[in-house]
Structure 1
Amino acid sequence: MKFATKAIHAGQEPDPTTGAVMTPIYQTSTYWQKSPGDHKGFEYSRGTNPTRKALEACLAALENAKYGLAFSSGMGATDAVLKLLKPGDEVITGNDLYGGSYRIFTKVYEKYGIKFHFIDFSKPENMLAYVNERTKLVWIETPTNPTMQIIDIEGVAKISKANNLILAVDNTFASPYLQNPMDLGADIVMHSVTKYIGGHSDVVMGALLVNDDQLYKDLWFIYNACGATPGPQDAFLVLRGIKTLHLRMKAHCENGEQVAKFLKTHPKIDKIYWPGFEDHPNHDIAKKQMRGFGGMVSVTLKDADLQETFRIASSFKVFALAESLGGVESLINHPVSMTHGSIPKEEREKVGVTDNLLRLSVGVEDISDLLADLEQALA
């Protein structure tokens, strides 16, 4: 079954009671049992819910995975993966990372005795210097947030497997439409479903996709025991959003390319980060493992201090100044003061997350309106 067909049909069957084509919102906390233990797989909605189950099956199909687990947020999904670890374990992760991931790694889990190595993943073999008997998990995102670093998933997977390490890939920026880390050797794929998969900035959710039976059982135990699971209304909204994921991603990619090309030669732009350019670091890897380059573009403003950066960021009419990304509407974000504020200045500046950097989530509006808005804001 091809991607567009899976997006519309995977995991969903007509409702057996009414024949409804859309999976109903099963707004219930508990389920009737004919006799103790006779519950047809549904006991209590923290653990299982028919609407959420349909969504999880759909998400798994999109990532070519065997199992899916939906969480109440992307951070809830990330937290579940970290709960696989124990004090003394070590994690290898990237040096350009979503601020929320950095925060939970350093502010929550480090105090429980878990050590994190933030490294340059431009070459997979860079991780070898940090592998030891305590290493248990490799966590990468690609493209990275916000400087769009491209990491060779297949290369990292080979090294991880050779050293018996779990490889988790945050696939949020690419979406399953553009990239499938499971096919490249990942053990866990994580999504902030809030972003491209939901696609309409109206729901907060996360997901984990896995193939290994035991890993799924371990994560399901955490999922059920700790309870960071979403309600049926949110699951319904995401199922609805997924039905147009392939259409939206095509438009995001088309608009993203035109915005990136417009900004690359603009006199107010110093640096631009978009993996579709041939001079972007690891462009050849992006071309190999992705089916398109997405709608995320980051830029640094030429000769702009923090005040001037704020002025420009606040001058847009179509792009909304807001956190998050991946919705149908275009957003502009100032990572230093918004999504990456928890990362120390000296750490973020090492990878280019400077005071004059802006991150654009290019939506699906008419491209002429987006380019006109960029022109007036940068004037």
Structure 2
Amino acid sequence: MSKKKLSNEQIVTHLGDDYQKFHGAVVPPIYENSLFIYDTYEKFLEAMESEHTNYLYWRGTNPTVEIVEQKIASLEKGEKCKLFSSGMAAISAAILSFVKTGEHVLSISNIYGPTTNLFNYLEKFGITHTNVTSKNIEEIEAHIKTNTKLIYIESPTTMTFQIIDLPEVTALAKQKQLNTIIDNSWATPIFQNPIESGVDVVVHSASKYLSGHSDLVGGALITSEAFMERIFYNEYQLLGGIMPPYEAWLLMRGMRTLPIRMKAHQENALKVARFLENHQSVKKVNYPGLTSAPDYELGKKMLKGYSGLLSFELVSSKFEDVKKTINALEHFNIGVSWGGFESLVLSPNNGRNYEQLRQSNIDPGLIRISVGLEDEEELIADLDQALRNL
């Protein structure tokens, strides 16, 4: 099937599923073999010369994994995708492909906690990092140093779900000859395609919406053919954080319903967010799909839709009230991650990190929820009974 002018539904259901190649199997098989053999030594040497386009060893390319990579690259409007064993493996590979000792990375607003931890870890190798909490382009430019090589973005941002003006940031990056990476896990390729806004590399935690069933951990990296060839032979193969074929097969299965699931997450989340913004125990809801959101107009420009992850801030910022509210919920399970069929809840407030929250511009009364695929009226009733206890 041609990649041109395919709908998202056609991509996830048919692109790469070569029925003739796989003897008419409607679901492609799992290639569990660790290596591939050749008829002649000449053919083997030829494959060795271009391992990124030939089947040689599981650590490089695999037919099952390759089908999913083709689907994700097409969804993201990118040239190439590689799958990784976790979102952090993909993020680490992307960052390390652009920076070396003596260079600097600038990140914008709130980003995923482990990504910040990675930046802190890289300081031991002489790679420095600055986070600018503002989205204002002048302030972002003011934090660019002479040794800055990379701008790292997450939009919508972690916990607060603010929207970054991607064309504005990428224009600045190109002017300064910097590369850009974005974590697009919240929006998925269904609702946002950052490459079309000039971003160089897109990363995903495939554990979230892409798989959608909370049964695998994985990551994806999408970029140009030129960048990907370099990453393949260095950060991908040498660091070894590859996705096994069985996990890729599970990811393929989950992605079949990605467009349908994202519509359902959006419908549920919008109803929940509208309920919360009118609740007497809630002072603010952070969700770009609300017309009251500060970034609503920018979000309409950047996004094609809204996922099911949002946060709200209690009128009370006390840790005891945060804990009480979370413990009172019955349909929202307490746990990390998000993007599965189930609804989840947590808070960045652990009762001991008020200064850290303040520095990140996060209200201590903030509670994050992942709105799943359950009945939205049950979820709203559950939130209502928990909030009424305050």
Q: Which of the five TM-score ranges fits, normalised by the shorter chain?
A: over 0.9
Gaps of 5+ in 2: 1-5, 48-53
Q: CA deviation at 1:277?
A: 2.4
TM-score (norm: length of structure 1): 0.94
- Give the conservation status (yes or no) of the 8 Å contact 1:47–1:227: no
Kindly tell me the number of residue pairs found equivalent between the two proteins. Answer: 373
Q: CA deviation at 1:350?
A: 3.2
Partner of 1:82: 95
Partner of 1:101: 115
Measured in 1, the distance between the counterparts of 2:105 and 2:117 equals 14
CA, structure 1 residues 88+281, in 2 after alignment: closer, same or farther (shift >3 Å)? Answer: farther
Deviations 1:146-181 (A, max 9, x none): 100110011111111111111111101111111000
Which deviates the most, 190-199 or 77-86? 77-86
Matched, 1:8 2:7: no
Matched, 1:44 2:57: yes
Which residue, 175, 185, 189 being the options, matches 1:176?
Answer: 189
Q: Which runs of structure 2 are paired with 1:290-305 in the superposition (5 Å)?
A: 290-305=303-318
Q: CA deviation at 1:15?
A: 5.8
Measured in 2, the distance between the counterparts of 1:20 and 1:61 equals 22
Q: CA deviation at 1:352?
A: 3.5
Partner of 2:375: 366
- Give the conservation status (yes or no) of the 8 Å contact 1:124–1:151: no
- Match for 1:56: what amino acid? E
- Give the conservation status (yes or no) of the 8 Å contact 2:319–2:349: no
Measured in 2, the distance between the counterparts of 1:13 and 1:179 equals 28
SS at match of 1:82: helix
Measured in 1, the distance between the counterparts of 2:324 and 2:267 equals 28
Matched, 1:124 2:129: no
- Give the conservation status (yes or no) of the 8 Å contact 1:15–1:24: no
- Give the conservation status (yes or no) of the 8 Å contact 2:109–2:135: no
Measured in 2, the distance between the counterparts of 1:24 and 1:337 equals 45
CA RMSD between the two structures: 1.8
Q: CA deviation at 1:31?
A: 1.6
Matched, 1:349 2:358: yes
Matched, 1:200 2:213: yes
Measured in 2, the distance between the counterparts of 1:241 and 1:121 equals 36
Deviations 1:280-339 (A, max 9, x none): 23221111110112211101122252122112112222111110011111111222349x
SS at match of 1:38: helix
Q: CA deviation at 1:125?
A: 3.3
Measured in 1, the distance between the counterparts of 2:154 and 2:27 equals 33
CA, structure 1 residues 14+311, in 2 after alignment: closer, same or farther (shift >3 Å)? Answer: same
Measured in 2, the distance between the counterparts of 1:227 and 1:113 equals 23
Measured in 2, the distance between the counterparts of 1:204 and 1:357 equals 26
Partner of 2:286: 273
Partner of 2:51: none
Partner of 2:152: 139
CA, structure 1 residues 319+269, in 2 after alignment: closer, same or farther (shift >3 Å)? Answer: same
Gaps of 5+ in 1: none
Measured in 2, the distance between the counterparts of 1:134 and 1:357 equals 36
Matched, 1:233 2:242: no
Partner of 2:339: 326
Measured in 1, the distance between the counterparts of 2:134 and 2:80 equals 28
Matched, 1:152 2:157: no
SS at match of 2:110: coil
Measured in 1, the distance between the counterparts of 2:230 and 2:356 equals 33
Q: CA deviation at 1:279?
A: 3.5
Measured in 2, the distance between the counterparts of 1:121 and 1:219 equals 31
- Give the conservation status (yes or no) of the 8 Å contact 1:12–1:58: no
Which residue, 96, 112, 120 being the options, matches 2:125?
Answer: 112
Measured in 1, the distance between the counterparts of 2:258 and 2:354 equals 36
